[in-house]
Amino acid sequence: MQFEQGPGPLPQEITDGKNPSPKPSAEKIDMPTTPEIGINPEYERGPKIKFPENIETVKALQDKLAEYKNRLKLQREEKPFKAPESFTDTNYKIAILERLLLEGEVDTHDLSRELHKKDKFVDATHFENACAVINDYVKTGGKHVRGGSGIRSGVAGSQR
């Protein structure tokens, strides 16, 4: 899936993990740190992905979660010796959707820290892509997502 440039600038191209990874953004944010927590508290909360208001979108996201879980199962069967946590793009999309559907919103920075604690790393490029893809599904029904299977028709903004 590729994310088509919308009204605002994007830090990088967004893909679904099937295409080559996008080039990381050259921009970096200078985040002052403190010894106690490592990150300045001013920067602790990240962008949030919020629960959709449209019930059709919620149903489509539930279907998408099932699809991602099946995709992960197939990926693991195809590459049985690959570490399960290394299927980052799919794992991140599953984690984001599970959190969104269970808790109603996802603080993206909090989730990335939790994944880092669990897996001892986070692939920032795949995580940013997963957040952008899911956020676009929520907001537009996937209008800006290119490639992949998308979400089912009938969802506001969906083109599939």
Closest by CA to 67, choosing from 160, 138, 151, is 151
**Domain spans of the chain?**
1-6+54-160
Task: Please list, in sequence order, all residues whose beta carbon lies within 8 angstroms of the beta carbon of residue 121, skipping any fewer than 6 positions away.
Answer: none
pLDDT, position 19: 42
Please state whether the predicted TM-score (pTM) of the whole model is above 0.85: no
The fraction of the chain above a pLDDT of 90, given in percent, is 57
138 φ, ψ (degrees, to nearest 5): -65, -45
pLDDT, position 41: 53
Instruction: Write the burial class of residue 34 (CB in 10 Å: 0-12 exposed, 13-18 middle, 19+ buried).
Output: exposed
pLDDT, position 84: 84
